[in-house]
């Protein structure tokens, strides 16, 4: 069963996806980490970030792997653990080139679908999971929140990481990312057809999770009174 969670930066989708997966005991896929790993690979390879063919070649050639679990995700690039490095401001500032490359998107969507087939039950989050990667997912969510609230959440994370930033800088960055995410010609951020929309501005993560669990139960995808997926009955053997 595939559960997709899409939304803009700071909408709470990463934390929600991680906690939801842990609660259901299934892996979660942070697709942003894939775009970040390709960004780091392209920066290290020194390619021109406006060169579509070069970016596609990096996404095709480099070996970036995701180790998925219900409570963790580790990312390696050519065998080196880059889990922390892909979260740096340097990588942050360049992801838009990689996210705007049709060739890279085609390759990453293909990899995401392969992961879905291999793993089976998955919570996957990003910008295009319910639209492009898994349009036939069993259930889709779209999380959003006011820009000021999203900037406030991001500011807390960055300060906790020891970055020296102000609220105004982070808000400007959130607004800029919203603009590039929704205006890019390739796969702009949009609400997937049939998605359940949640405005998380005034909700805690626990409240978002409870709402999602309720919707999963209502859809008959999670067992009543339990945090377990409803699994399809085994096929009769003859
Ligand atoms: O969610 P994030 O900040 O880790 O995403 C990193 C970058 O990748 C950001 O520029 C948005 C982009 N992205 C995307 O275009 N499609 C996805 N499915 C996931 C992320």
Length of the chain: 238
Q: CA 196, CA 215: separation in Å to the nearest integer?
A: 9
Q: Establish whether residue 150 lines the binding site of ligand 1, counting it when its CB lies within 6 angstroms of any ligand atom.
A: no
Sheet holding 80-81, edge to edge: 64-68, 73-77, 80-81
- Neighbouring CB atoms inside 10 A of 67's CB total 12
Q: Establish whether residue 35 lines the binding site of ligand 1, counting it when its CB lies within 6 angstroms of any ligand atom.
A: yes
Q: Establish whether residue 12 lines the binding site of ligand 1, counting it when its CB lies within 6 angstroms of any ligand atom.
A: no
Q: Establish whether residue 116 lines the binding site of ligand 1, counting it when its CB lies within 6 angstroms of any ligand atom.
A: no
Over residues 96-140, the pLDDT tens digits come to: 999 999 999 999 999 999 999 999 999 999 999 999 999 999 999
Average pLDDT estimate for 6-32: 93
Looking only at the bridges linking them, the beta strands covering 73-77 and 64-68 are: antiparallel
Please tell me the predicted confidence (pLDDT) of residue 237: 42
Average pLDDT estimate for 171-184: 87
Q: Establish whether residue 153 lines the binding site of ligand 1, counting it when its CB lies within 6 angstroms of any ligand atom.
A: no
Query: Which of 42, 99, 174, 183 best tests ligand 1's pocket when mutated (most atoms within 8 Å of CB)?
Result: 99
Per-residue tokens: 213 = 């669990």
Q: Establish whether residue 56 lines the binding site of ligand 1, counting it when its CB lies within 6 angstroms of any ligand atom.
A: no
Do residues 40 and 226 lie in contact, with contact meaning Cβ atoms separated by under 8 Å?
no
Please tell me the predicted confidence (pLDDT) of residue 129: 97
Over residues 46-86, the pLDDT tens digits come to: 999 999 999 999 999 999 999 987 778 899 999 999 999 99
Average pLDDT estimate for 212-216: 97
Please tell me the predicted confidence (pLDDT) of residue 115: 96
Over residues 200-209, the pLDDT tens digits come to: 999 999 999 9
Q: Establish whether residue 17 lines the binding site of ligand 1, counting it when its CB lies within 6 angstroms of any ligand atom.
A: no
Compute, in angstroms, the gap from residue 127 CA to the centroid of ligand 1.
6
Domains by residue range for the chain, with CATH = 2-218 (3.40.50.300)
Sign (positive or negative) of CA dihedral 28, 79, 94, 91: positive
Please tell me the predicted confidence (pLDDT) of residue 233: 53
The DSSP secondary-structure symbol of 234 reads P
205-218 and 13-24 are packed helices; what angle lies between their axes, rounded to 10 degrees?
Answer: 50
Average pLDDT estimate for 149-172: 90
- Neighbouring CB atoms inside 10 A of 104's CB total 25
- The burial of 48, by beta-carbon neighbours within 10 Å (0-12 exposed, 13-18 middle, 19 or more buried), is given as exposed
- Indicate the Cα dihedral angle 178, 182, 183, 184, nearest 10°: 100
Compute, in angstroms, the gap from residue 180 CA to the centroid of ligand 1.
11
Residue 235 pLDDT > 70:
no
Compute, in angstroms, the gap from residue 162 CA to the centroid of ligand 1.
22
Q: Which band of pLDDT confidence, cut at 50, 70 and 90, is reported for residue 217?
A: very high
């Amino acid at each position: 069963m595939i559960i997709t969670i899409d939304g803009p930066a700071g909408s709470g989708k990463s934390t929600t996806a991680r906690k939801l997966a842990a609660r259901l005991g299934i892996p979660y896929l942070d697709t942003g980490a894939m775009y970040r790993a390709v960004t780091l690979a392209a920066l290290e390879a020194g390619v021109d970030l406006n060169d579509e063919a070069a970016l596609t070649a990096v996404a095709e050639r480099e070996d970036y792997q995701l180790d998925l679990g219900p409570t963790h995700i580790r990312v390696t690039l050519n065998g080196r653990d880059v889990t922390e490095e892909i979260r740096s401001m340097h990588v942050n500032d360049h992801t838009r080139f990689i996210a705007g490359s049709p060739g890279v998107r085609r390759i990453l969507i293909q990899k995401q679908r392969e992961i879905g087939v291999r793993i089976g039950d998955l919570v996957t989050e990003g910008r295009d999971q319910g639209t492009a990667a898994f349009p036939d997912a069993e259930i889709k969510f779209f999380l959003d929140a006011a820009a000021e609230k999203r900037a406030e959440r991001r500011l807390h994370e960055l300060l906790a990481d020891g970055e020296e930033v102000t609220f105004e800088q982070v808000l400007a960055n959130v607004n800029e990312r919203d603009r590039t995410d929704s205006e890019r010609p390739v796969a702009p951020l949009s609400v997937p057809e049939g998605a359940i929309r949640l405005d998380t501005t005034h909700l805690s993560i626990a409240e978002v999770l409870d709402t999602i669990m309720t919707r999963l139960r209502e859809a008959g995808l999670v067992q009543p009174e339990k945090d377990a997926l409803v699994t399809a009955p085994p096929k009769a053997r003859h």
